[in-house]
Amino acid sequence: MNIDDIHLNFNAASLTIMNVLIGFIMFGVALDLQSSDFKRSLKTPKPAIIGLVCQFILLPAFTYLLVLIIQPRPSIALGLFLVAACPGGNLSNFLTYLAKGNTPLSISMSAISTVLAIFMTPFNTLLWGSLYGPTNSLLKSFTISPQDMLITIFLMLGLPLAVGMYIRHKYPATAQQINKWAKKASIAFFLLFVLVSLAANFNYFIEFIGMVAIIVFIHNLLAITIGYTTSSLLRLPVADRRAISIEVGIQNSGLGLILIFNFFDGLGGMAIVAAWWAIWHIISGLTIATYWSRRPPLQETAQNPVGSVKT
C-alpha cells in the first residue's frame, strides 16, 4: 500500500469537534496574554524579530532543503512543509519556563506568531509545496482556496485569541479563575485530539510510522538547531536562545492536523507526519527543557563569552 494513496478517516462531526477543540486551546492560551506582551516586543524587538524570522522564513526554507536531500514520498514532504508553516505550539511557553529561558519572549513570540500564522501558514505551505515538483503535482490534485484556508485559521486562532485577550483585559478575575483549569484542560484536549486521530486510523499509523519517525526526528532537530544557532550567531543572551529554539522547535501540529483533514482529505503521509510531530515534539521539548533546567543561563553566560553556542 502506498502512503500517498491512503486517506485517514475523520467524519464531519469529528472534524467539527476538533475545530472547536483547537479554538478552545487557543482561547486558554489567550487568557494568559496581555497587550503588554506585544508592547514588550516593540520596546526590545530584536529577539522577537529573530525568532519570527526563524519560525516563518528559515524553518520553511531549510525544510525545503531537507526535502531536496532526503526526497521522501510526496505526501510526507507536503506534511513537512505544512508543519514547518505552522506557528509555535501551545506547550512552548511552559517548556521555556521549565528550561529557564526567557518566558516573556516566548509568550510574545507565541502571540505574534499566532496572528501572523493566519496569513503565513497558508502562504508558506502553498509556496514551498509548489516549488518542489512532486508536492506541486500533489497540490494540483486538491482544490485549495488560500482564502478559505485563511478564514479557517482565523476562526481557529485569531478569533479565540481576540476573545481570550478581551476577557483577560475586561474581567481579569474571571480570566484568572478560568485559566486555573483551562491550561490543564487545553493540554489534555490536545493530547486527546492526537490520540483520537491515531486511534481512528491505528492500522495505517502502525504500518507507516517507521517511514516518518526518523524524518520527523531530523526535522524537529533541525527546527531547534535553527532557533538556537541563529540567535547565538546574532549574540542574544542564553535565555533568549532557549526561548527561541523551543518556540521554533515546538510547532502547532494540532493546527496542522486540522488543516490536513479540512483541505487535504486526511492525506496519509501528511496526517501521519503531523500526528507523530505532535507526539515527538513533546518528548524532545521536555528532554531539552529538563536538561537546560539544570544549567542556569546566568551561570552559562558567566562561563562562556557572549555568542557562544554552548548549550
Strand positions, DSSP E, the chain: none
The per-residue pLDDT for 13 is 62
d(CA 102, CA 96): 7
Diameter of the chain by CA atoms?
56
DSSP state of 292: H
Q: Is residue 162 part of a domain?
A: yes
Look-up of cell digits 516586543:
41
Q: Is residue 22 part of a domain?
A: yes
Q: Is residue 287 part of a domain?
A: yes
Q: Is residue 7 part of a domain?
A: no
Q: Is residue 2 part of a domain?
A: no
The per-residue pLDDT for 310 is 45
68-97: pLDDT as tens digits: 999 999 999 999 999 999 988 767 877 888
How many other C-beta atoms lie within 10 A of the C-beta of residue 20?
A: 14
Of the candidates 278, 277, 274, 252, which has an alpha carbon nearest to the alpha carbon of residue 261? Answer: 274
The per-residue pLDDT for 211 is 85
The per-residue pLDDT for 301 is 43
Please report the DSSP string for 162-231 in residue order. Answer: HHHHHHHHH-HHHHHHHHHHHHHHHHHHHHHHHHHHHHTTHHHHHHHHHHHHHHHHHHHHHHHHHHHHHH
Q: Is residue 143 part of a domain?
A: yes
d(CA 130, CA 49): 27
What is the Cα 167 distance to its own chain's centre? 25
Of the candidates 17, 30, 54, which has an alpha carbon nearest to the alpha carbon of residue 250? Answer: 54
d(CA 252, CA 238): 24
Task: Assign 151 to helix, strand or coil.
Answer: helix
The pTM assigned to this predicted structure is 0.81
Cα angle 295-92-87, degrees, rounded to a multiple of 5: 140
Inter-residue contact 92 to 247 (CB < 8 Å): yes
First to last CA, the chain: 43
Inter-residue contact 78 to 133 (CB < 8 Å): no
DSSP state of 156: I
Inter-residue contact 57 to 121 (CB < 8 Å): no
**For 135, what's the count of Cα atoms within 13 Å in the CB-facing half-sphere?**
27
Inter-residue contact 262 to 231 (CB < 8 Å): no
Q: What's the domain range around 129? A: 12-303
Q: Tell me, what CATH number does 74's domain have?
A: 1.20.1530.20
How many other C-beta atoms lie within 10 A of the C-beta of residue 1?
A: 9
Inter-residue contact 107 to 33 (CB < 8 Å): yes
Residue 261 carries which side chain, given as an amino acid letter? F
Q: Is residue 311 part of a domain?
A: no
Residue 13 carries which side chain, given as an amino acid letter? A
Q: Is residue 79 part of a domain?
A: yes
| Low-confidence spans in the chain with pLDDT less than 50 | 301-311
Domain count, the chain: 1
